[in-house]
Amino acid sequence: MQRRQFFQTGSLATAAVALPEWTTAAGKLNPATSASRIKLSVSSYSYWHFRGDKFPIEKVIDEAAVLGLDGIDVLHRQMESEENAYLQKLKKHAFLNGIAMTCLSIHQGFVTPDKAELKKHVDHTIHCIELAYKMGIPCLRLNTGRWNTIKSFDELMKNRGIEPILPGYTEEDGYKWCVDGIQQCLSKAEECGILLALENHWGLGSTPEGMLKLHERVNSPWLGLLMDTGNFLEDPYDKLKMIASKTSFVQAKTYYGGGEWYTLELDYPRIINILRDVNYQGYISIEFEGKEDPYSGVRKSVDLLRKALNQ
């Protein structure tokens, strides 16, 4: 009995020394542990900026594996098909290469007074939730949509993402439409186990205040926020800090060769510290948006983010 008690006591003592400080909803992680738990991913968008032939998702998976990344963020518009055979082929290819498909990034716009138009975007979002479910992707990128009073995206970017409100309506109308649209998608998201992540992607998501207002009004555990590091164009760090505690997924912009629409000099060690301060434990997905060749641009981006994560 004494020998058994010795080994039981000794094992427990060893375990008490060796175990890391796991996180809880209210508790903090050991800093060394939190650094290792953030995973690095890449967006398929990094290899195709809506110009020319689509860069195959399979090749993005291959490149992510070569770079030793943990996952890819799939741009819906870049997929060659929505047929189930294609979806399952991607899922198998990712698994065999040790790559998680982390997020399905889609486009929709809930900021419209036209009920038929709103329904079209709700239906599209629900359809994409089902696609994500079939592909084994646990997260779906949402946009708020925008007023569309500036039709050209190039012109919108020249105007720093700011556009006039639709004549005859108020910003509060936009919030009501957007909340309504998101809420109509929640039951399907819960049914499929797909977390919706609302991005700071122009429109009502252009400010942290707008994102937090929408998150609070929707008030669902199936809605988180998606932090795009490059979409707060002025004074980004305080704004990123405001949304960090609600962030479920991160897209990290880089601009080697100069940006397609603009270029930001982002301090990634500072951004990583913002995320660590709130115990962020998810994926950071590189969105290379520069004009350099994507192979070299993404590789430089991986080096940049890995260096920031190791500081």
**Which residues contact residue 207 at a Cβ distance below 8 angstroms, ignoring those fewer than 6 apart?**
200, 239
In-domain check, residue 5: no
* Crossing angle of the two packed helices 294-309 and 268-277, in degrees rounded to 10: 50
Share of the chain above pLDDT 90, in %: 80
**Exposed, middle or buried, 114 (CB in 10 Å: 0-12/13-18/19+)?**
exposed
Q: How many CB atoms lie within 10 A of CB 46?
A: 28
In-domain check, residue 281: yes
Tens-digit pLDDT profile for residues 62-111:
999 999 999 999 999 999 999 999 999 999 999 999 999 999 999 999 99
Q: How many CA atoms lie within 13 A of 234 on its CB side?
A: 6
Q: Give residue 200's domain range.
A: 28-309
- What's the CA angle centered on 56, arms 94 and 258, to 5 degrees? 110
CA–CA separation, 165 vs 146, rounded Å? 9
In-domain check, residue 88: yes
CA–CA separation, 54 vs 51, rounded Å? 8
Q: Say if CB 176 and CB 208 are below 8 A apart.
A: no
- pTM summary value: 0.87
In-domain check, residue 1: no
- In the DSSP assignment, the letter for residue 25 is S
Tens-digit pLDDT profile for residues 196-250:
999 999 899 999 999 999 999 999 999 999 999 999 999 999 999 999 999 999 9
- What's the CA angle centered on 55, arms 54 and 60, to 5 degrees? 150
In-domain check, residue 19: no
Q: Quick one: pLDDT at residue 150?
A: 87
In-domain check, residue 54: yes
Q: How many CB atoms lie within 10 A of CB 52?
A: 7
Give the residue with greater pLDDT, 148 vs 141: 141
In order, the DSSP letters of 105-116 are E-------S-HH
- What's the CA angle centered on 174, arms 168 and 175, to 5 degrees? 145
Counting the structural domains of the chain, the total is 1
Pick from 201, 216, 197: which is nearest to 125 by CA? 197
In-domain check, residue 162: yes
Tens-digit pLDDT profile for residues 12-34:
333 333 333 433 333 444 444 44
Point out the least confidently predicted range of 24-28, 132-136, 168-172, 264-268. Answer: 24-28
Mean pLDDT of the chain: 90
CATH number at residue 162: 3.20.20.150
Mean pLDDT on 128-138: 98
